[in-house]
Chain A
Amino acid sequence: MADQVLDAKGLNCPLPILKAKKALKDVPMGGTLQVIATDPGAVKDFEAFCRTTGNELMESKEDDKVFSFLIKRTS
């Protein structure tokens, strides 16, 4: 279970990323944030976001057009 969960369903680019960035600030170092989104572009975007910011994308999965990303705050 993630330390924090962000529901970004129904939001379009770039809002899931912007809201995730805000939410990550409240996650302790080493803690995790789960983002739930329906924007299919978010799959590649969260990979790029994590690579660039130095956070770890631990999991990226889809279930019936709902995407879930698990990010570990490491920066």
Chain B
Amino acid sequence: MADNAGSNTKKLSMIVTKGSLDWAYPPFILATTAAAMGLEVSMFFTFYGLTLLKKKLDLNVTTLGNPAMQMPMFGMHIGMPNLMSAVPGVDAAATAMMKNLIKKKGVASIEELREMAVEADVEMIACQMTMDLFEYTMDDMIEGPVLGGAATYIETATNSDINLFI
């Protein structure tokens, strides 16, 4: 990115820190849309966000710590009490319900958005420290991401017009 620091192209950088199904959407929606609108996009995947680069995604939602989660059911919105997460199968059911809604409402899957991001030349940086911490290798990840660290991100952010932490 540094070699483009002088160009007029607008740039967006993002730090992606969360790896649940719901939290995977904002970064990939914004990355693909920004790229489609002509921006240069760079995503830095760190901590749980790093798992979004894995070849095989197994994304889930949880009701735990998520009091605002309300699922449309039986013509109304049913809240999901925090403690329900402790009941075996509840998170799996909530995940299945969410995936069902995603399909029904014509919302793209994360796999689909990620593929479009790669196609659109969105730069993806895998946090080296997190790779080491959680014992991943680049073989676990899709084709495309490169390794980097905090200095890599700061340089990118310094040259970007928009920087988001998600």
Contacts and interface: CB of A to CB of B under 8 A. Distances in A.
B106 A18 contact: no
A38 to B, nearest CB: 8
B32 A18 contact: yes
B70 to A, nearest CB: 18
Given A12-B105, A17-B33, A21-B36, 17 more contacts: A12-B106, A12-B108, A14-B29, A14-B32, A14-B36, A15-B106, A15-B107, A18-B32, A18-B33, A18-B36, A18-B116, A20-B36, A21-B37, A39-B106, A48-B37, A49-B37, A52-B38
B4 to A, nearest CB: 18
A12 B116 contact: no
Interface string B72-110: 000000000000000000000000000000000111100
Interface in A1-32: 10-15, 17-18, 20-21
**Dominant SS at the B interface?**
loop
Interface residues of A, number: 15
B106 A53 contact: no
A17 B36 contact: yes
17 contacts: A10-B106, A11-B106, A12-B106, A12-B107, A12-B108, A13-B29, A14-B33, A14-B36, A14-B108, A15-B106, A17-B37, A18-B108, A18-B116, A21-B36, A49-B36, A52-B38, A53-B38
